Amino acid sequence: LAKTTQPISMDSYEGQEVNITCSHNNIATNDYITWYQQFPSQGPRFIIQGYKTKVTNEVASLFIPADRKSSTLSLPRVSLSDTAVYYCLVGDGYGGSQGNLIFGKGTKLSVKP
Amino acid sequence: DTAVSQTPKYLVTQMGNDKSIKCEQNLGHDTMYWYKQDSKKFLKIMFSYNNKELIINETVPNRFSPKSPDKAHLNLHINSLELGDSAVYFCASSHYRTGNEQFFGPGTRLTVL
């Protein structure tokens, strides 16, 4: 099972771009990379998923190098409401497979005014 | 319309009691999950279930059992509650083929006295 490593915490200021990097050295060929966001007292919320290169949606961008051993979640122009814990996961994308259900410790992002 | 709902939101009970937490999803998903998030905020999978298989995390005591009356519901039964069971329990659901994109419920905070 591919494990992930992320920084425990990060600080930023409103309006800045935030990049959170995740290491997943043992990622398998069939694995996708997925990021979740969790606010206090709420369940995690899916943000973005990718397999290789770059993926962008209305919330974030995900950069994945060719070797896929790491990935970077990029949050453009963060606001106070982006203060949350961000989790990086890797897995084959099939429900019911334990390979895709491992949440790491996450990165606690604190955005300051 | 709530996509994934859980009841109750809070549950306070005595050691040794038996309790249940209910989960319902109206997303038409075929796979449902239960997670436990402890005081250190580690989010751990307990069960994943669809109409084909139940996968149990081997670290989950057999006092915990999932019950699925139909595809839209996966309830969690806990027997002989212990102090260490105090945590927030999250239900989630997904399509089997997109298991990385899970939708989480609001959580149930269980306190065992």
Q: Does B53 touch chain A (CB under 8 A)?
A: yes
Report chain B residues whose CB lies below 8 A from the CB of A97. 48, 55, 99
What digits encode the pLDDT tens for the residues A47-105? 999 999 999 999 999 999 999 999 999 999 999 999 999 999 888 776 655 545 677 78
Domain B4-112 of CATH type 2.60.40.10: yes
pLDDT tens digits, one per residue of B59-104? 889 999 999 888 899 999 999 999 999 999 999 999 877 778 899 9
Chain A residues in contact with B96 (beta carbon < 8 A): 94-96
Residue A109 burial (CB count, 10 A): 21
Cα gap A32→B99, rounded to integer Å: 10
Q: Which residues contact A47 (CB under 8 A, 6 or more apart)?
A: A35, A36, A37, A57, A59, A60, A73, A86
Q: Report the pLDDT value the prediction gives residue B47, as an integer from 0 to 100.
A: 86
Annotated domain spans of chain A? 9-94+101-112
Cα A5 from chain centre: 11
Q: Which CATH superfamily is domain A9-94+101-112 in?
A: Immunoglobulins (2.60.40.10)
